[in-house]
Structures are given as structure tokens and as C-alpha cells.
Amino acid sequence: MNSFLLIAHGSRRSESNDEVRALTNRIKSDAEDQFDEVACCFLELAEPSIPDAINTLVKKGATRITLFPYFLAVGAHVAEDIPEAIAEAKEQHPQVHLQILPHLGKLASIPRIILDQMNT
Amino acid sequence: MNSFLLIAHGSRRSESNDEVRALTNRIKSDAEDQFDEVACCFLELAEPSIPDAINTLVKKGATRITLFPYFLAVGAHVAEDIPEAIAEAKEQHPQVHLQILPHLGKLASIPRIILDQMNT
């Protein structure tokens, strides 16, 4: 079973966390043919945590999880905290294939979508 | 003269600020036919500030500045700090047309580019 897990920072403002959940739902409906499950999790300040979200997906039968850091820049979170959390999850679930994608700010298409927005 | 100004949060890590500057350069080369000037500025922790960047563009002859908040979620920065800084700039430069775009996390195309990344 093929799953997608978006990792956000998490905020004290529940509205910000809800924006992440709404984005996750939009990805879910766009990716029905690509992923059996699409979920989000938070590094801090909101639930579920990265390990909790991975555990839930594994319990649902995930054998492959694609993780996407929803971060604009490489800071300690992207460079250290997220890889550490995923390394721990790999030890706990050696039978599951976990793959981290580059973070959002790294996507080559970012300049294009910013410019496209002005032309709509 | 038509200018584009990307507003980022700013980081203590110079590498993160350099990522924003590199992104700005990519937008610049993609938007040569759309904007005479493309620049970035930072809400805090890095230079130039929002008012400094606007002043520089106005000195170069900008009559219209499109401002883009490079933020994932609506927090106090997007909801209050940036509009306040822009309201002050409008008072200082009443002859310049300043337009704020929705912040990055709001763009409808975000789910699509995340999914596209996995298919390349």
C-alpha cells in the first residue's frame, strides 16, 4: 500500500494547522490514483507527530511512504530533525519503504507558479 | 516601471536567506518580459527590510510594485505585519501603485506541483 505523508512545521495558531490539513485534502483528491492514503503530520506544536502519523499509516497497511517536507528553506528542521525522525521510524518499521522528497522551497516550479498567479 | 518584490520572513541562517535570493534570481530570469525589476526583502533577521527595498525600487523609477508574501501560512506576519509595512510605504510613496498578492501557501497550484515532483 502506497502512502503520502506531508510534514509541516506546526503552529500555535490552529488556523495555520488547518490550512495544512486543507492542503492535504486537496492533494488527496488530486492523487487518488497515485496513493492509497494521504496524510499530514507536524514536527511540533500540533498533532499528529511524525512517528504517530507513520505508525497510523503502517497500521493501515502502508508498505511504502513518500514523505514531503512542507518547508520553504533548509534550516535545522529540514537538515536534521526530519531525517532523524525518519531514521527512527525506519528502525521501528524496517519492512516499510520510506522515501523523503526535497522540501517545497527546492521545487524548480516555484518561480513559475508565482508568476502564473499574476496572469490569471 | 513595473517591479516585483518577494517578501520572505528572513532567517538567522544566511544559507536560508541565500535560498530566497536564488529563488528571486530565478523569478527574475523567468519574468524578464513581465517586470523591469525583481527584488526580494525580509520581514526580519535579514536585509533589505520591506521599506528599504520599496525605497530602492522607487528610486530606480518603479511606478507599480507587485508584492508577494513568500509564506506558507497566514500568521501574524501575513495578516498584520506585512499589510502594516505596505500601508506605511503607501503613505510615503502615494504616487506608486502597490499591490499585494495572496501568500504562497494559498496558491491553488501547490498540490499539483507537489504531486508533479514525484512523477519526474
Q: For B61-78, how does the pLDDT look when each residue is reduced to its tens digit (9 = 90+)?
A: 999 999 999 999 877 788
pLDDT greater than 80 at residue A118? no
Which cell is B101 given?
Answer: 498578492
- Is the CB of A45 inside 8 Å of chain B's CB atoms? no
Is the predicted pLDDT of residue A120 greater than 70, yes or no? no
| Phi, psi for B70 (deg, rounded to 5) | -85, 70
Which CATH number is associated with domain A2-118?
Answer: 3.40.50.1400
Q: What is the pTM of this model?
A: 0.86
Closest to B41 in 3D by CA, of B32, B53, B30, B33: B53
Kindly report the nearest CA distance between residue A7 and chain B, in angstroms. 12
Beta strand pairing call for B37-42 and B97-100:
unpaired
Chain position carrying cell 528502525? A91
Asked if A97 has any chain B CB less than 8 Å from its own CB, the reply is: no
Tell whether B13 lies on the interface with A, counting CB pairs under 8 A: yes
CA–CA dist A53, A46 (Å, integer): 12
Q: Looking at CA atoms only, how far is residue B27 from chain A in angstroms?
A: 5
Query: Between A and B, how many CB-CB pairs are < 8 A?
Result: 98
The mean predicted confidence, pLDDT, of chain A is: 92
Q: How far apart are CA A18 and CA A15, in angstroms?
A: 5
Q: Quick one: pLDDT band at residue B27, thresholds 50, 70, 90?
A: very high
pLDDT band, very low/low/confident/very high, at B13 (cuts 50, 70, 90): confident
